[in-house]
Amino acid sequence: MLSSVVPGLTDTLAQVLHELFGLPVLRVGPDIYSRLPMAIERPHEIGSDLVANAVAAYDKFNDYSIVVDFGTALTFTTVSDSGQILGVAIAPGLKTAMYALFKNTAQLPEVPLELPPSAIGKNTTQALQAGVLLGYVGLVESLLARIQEELAQPCKVVATGGLSAILGPVAHLFDEIDPHLTLNGLRLIAERYG
């Protein structure tokens, strides 16, 4: 099972996997999307990782759910109580935002992704941490509330992704933190559609 959001490497990865294991490589993509329930306008544009997350969340909760994936991008994938992918919200991920400031400004350093002691930074490091990390706390809280308001009902919320453990102040918003959600979704897709 292959999920890749880097189109330029997907064929190479599929070939290497086939040569290594001698098995056909099933790719999560538009061929499979047509067999999944989606309410989005252009299913071919959705990332295969988001599809895997949605499949795993529905399998886990069997109810309305929101998957918050803390990766290169910060994504919010909304799933209906019938397993239909309703839509996605995408923002730059924490590291992506921090790196953009470091890379695109002359005087801002790269800083560790750690919560600062205060929202009022007393030095450049704390100022960056307050702006980005505490700003993301507000972003997560706001988008989750808005999505649930638009659905007019509460949802199960699961966090995943490499940086899902960083934002302790929003941990109470999640019903579960599952760093392996995407992998579980890939397994489920392989079992059901492979």
25 lies in some domain: yes
2 lies in some domain: no
pTM of the predicted protein model: 0.90
Told to judge if 49 belongs to the known catalytic residues of this protein, a careful annotator would answer: yes
Q: Are strands 176-177 and 156-160 parallel, antiparallel or unpaired?
A: parallel
pLDDT beyond 90 at 86? yes
What would the pLDDT profile of 22-54 be if each residue is shown by its tens digit? 998 988 888 888 888 899 999 889 999 999 999
1 lies in some domain: no
14 lies in some domain: yes
114 lies in some domain: yes
150 lies in some domain: yes
Residue 77, classed as helix, strand or coil, is strand
Containing structural domain, residue 166: 7-193
Number of structural domains in the chain: 1
143 lies in some domain: yes
Weakest-pLDDT range from 28-42, 115-129, 146-160, 171-185:
28-42
User: Which is the catalytic residue, given 11, 31, 49, 178?
Assistant: 49
117: CATH: 3.30.420.40
Q: Where are the strands (E) in the chain, listed by range?
A: 65-70, 73-79, 85-92, 156-160, 176-177
75 lies in some domain: yes
What would the pLDDT profile of 9-21 be if each residue is shown by its tens digit? 989 999 999 999 9
**CB atoms < 10 A from the CB of 166, how many?**
17
Nearest to 53 by CA among 158, 155, 150, 139: 158
